[in-house]
Amino acid sequence: MGTLDVAAIETASGTDVGRVRAVNQDRCEEFQISTGARLLVLADGMGGHAGGEHASRIAVDTIGEVFCNERGEAVLTLRRAFDAANEAILREARHRSELHGMGTTAVALLISPDGAWTANVGDSRAYRVRDMEIDLLTEDHSVVFEAVRLGRITPSEARTHPLRNRLLRCLGLESGVSVDVEHVDIACGDRFLLCSDGLWGELEERELCAVLATERPDDAVRILIERANESGGEDNITVQVAAIPGS
């Protein structure tokens, strides 16, 4: 498509503690700058109640701050933002012993008049729905996803695998984190979804697709959170949706 009218994109975000956890360690925000570019960012924290909450908050706030203060090329901005978040989490953990070992996943979608990009570390995901088909735009940095990629287990086996929550990468693990940044094809009528594993771990992709393709973003967020809770709600559930205008 040509130059994108970013201001016309409809977005919605929501988060829920779920039915099992006592604390919500997820966080999400949306940021916008004067050039028209918009950033959705979501993080799923880990490392004890206090640690997970702190890590996800630091990640989202730092990524948003870098985005709002940078005016460079999108890929470099996203890499700098994630690198800064990683170092901020490590720095906080060094200064506060009770937060030692905290970390977080992070996934972001940057949409500008010139195009769209995803960035991610961990197993929070970005999807695109187009013409009633859903595509996973990110790769999980997890033991199970790697096993599926190598053909050692099937996707259905991965859903109940005992190591399904074991991450290979996250923010706050070590200095110099590797961040996946990818350009995303974007077209009129596309729907984008960012979510924590509290959503994609509970619902099949076909159900995600059906809701995103037929509902407005605010309704889609509400419905998906409700359905994840109905399916068990075993983890915190966080959902962000962006709808590109057009048919």
pLDDT of the residue at 162: 67
Quick check: is 152 in a domain? yes
50-60 pLDDT, tens digit each: 799 999 999 99
Expressed as residue numbers, the domain containing 71 is 6-243
In a domain? residue 105? yes
On whether residue 143 sits in a domain, the answer given is yes
Give the contacts of 127 (CB within 8 A, at least 6 positions apart): 134, 135, 136, 137, 192, 193, 195, 205, 208, 212
**pLDDT at residue 3, as a whole number:** 72
When divided into structural domains, the chain yields a total of 1
Q: How many CA atoms within 13 Å lie on the side-chain side of 5? A: 7
> Is residue 51 included in any domain, yes or no?
yes
Q: Is residue 171 part of a domain?
A: yes
In a domain, 1, yes or no: no
Does residue 196 belong to any structural domain of this protein?
A: yes
The answer to pTM > 0.85 is yes
Q: What is the pLDDT of residues 148-197, one digit of tens each?
A: 676 777 676 666 666 667 889 999 999 999 999 999 999 999 999 999 99
CATH number of the domain where residue 134 is located:
3.60.40.10
Q: Which of 86-100, 106-120, 149-163 has the lowest mean pLDDT?
A: 149-163
Decide if 119 is inside a domain: yes
8 Å CB contact between 210 and 224: no
Q: Which pLDDT score, from 0 to 100, does residue 201 have?
A: 92
